Amino acid sequence: WKTRKIRVSGVNIVPMGANNDLPGDVQRLLDNFYGGEGIMGKIQGLQWGEGPRFFEEAIDSENNRFYRKWILDDVIQADLESWDYRDYMLRRLVDLVHMQGFWVKFIRNRGPRIGEDGRIIRLEHIPYRKCRFEYPDDRHDLPQNVYVGDWPFPDPDRLAKYPVFNPADPFRHPVSVGYFNIYSFCRDFVSTPRFLGAFPWLELAGTIAPLLAAYNANASALSLHIESPQAYWDAAEDRIREICKRKGVPYSARMLEEFKDEAMEKFASGVTGRENVGKYMHTTRFWDADANDFQGWTITPIDKKIRDYIESQIKIANKADAAATSGFGLDPVLSNLIMDNKLSSGSEKLYSIKVYNASETAIPDMILCKPLMHYIRANYPGSRTQVGLYRSVVESEQSVSPANRMKENI
Alpha-carbon distances of 311 from 314, 320, 324, 383, rounded to whole Å:
5, 14, 20, 62
Angle at 381 between CA 378 and CA 385, to 5 degrees: 95
Per-residue pLDDT, averaged over 202-225, amounts to 72
Q: How confident is the model at residue 410 (pLDDT cuts 50, 70, 90)?
A: very low
| Model confidence band, residue 1 (pLDDT cutoffs 50, 70, 90) | low
Q: What is the mean pLDDT of residues 306-331?
A: 78
Read off the pLDDT band of 409 (50, 70, 90). Answer: very low
Structure confidence at residue 387 (pLDDT): 96
More confident of the two residues 23 and 347: 23
What is the C-alpha to C-alpha distance for residues 214 and 206, in angstroms, rounded to an integer? Answer: 14
Question: Lowest-pLDDT range, 118-127, 311-320, 360-369?
Answer: 311-320
pLDDT one-digit tens code per residue, 10-67: 889 999 988 899 999 999 999 888 888 888 999 999 999 999 999 999 999 898 999 9
3-class state of residue 219 by DSSP: helix
Helices (H) and strands (E) in the chain, counts: 10, 15
Neighbouring residues of 334: CB distance < 8 A, sequence distance ≥ 6:
42, 46, 349, 352, 353, 356
Whether residue 118 contacts residue 185, with contact meaning beta carbons closer than 8 Å, is answered with no
Nearest CA among 180, 115, 193 for reference residue 146: 180
Look at residue 368 and tell me whether its pLDDT is greater than 50: yes
Does residue 402 register a pLDDT over 60? no
Of 19-28, 72-81, 328-337, give the lowest mean pLDDT range. 328-337
Q: How confident is the model at residue 96 (pLDDT cuts 50, 70, 90)?
A: very high
- Please determine, for residue 138, whether its predicted confidence score (pLDDT) is greater than 50: yes
pLDDT of 227 reads 74
pTM: 0.76
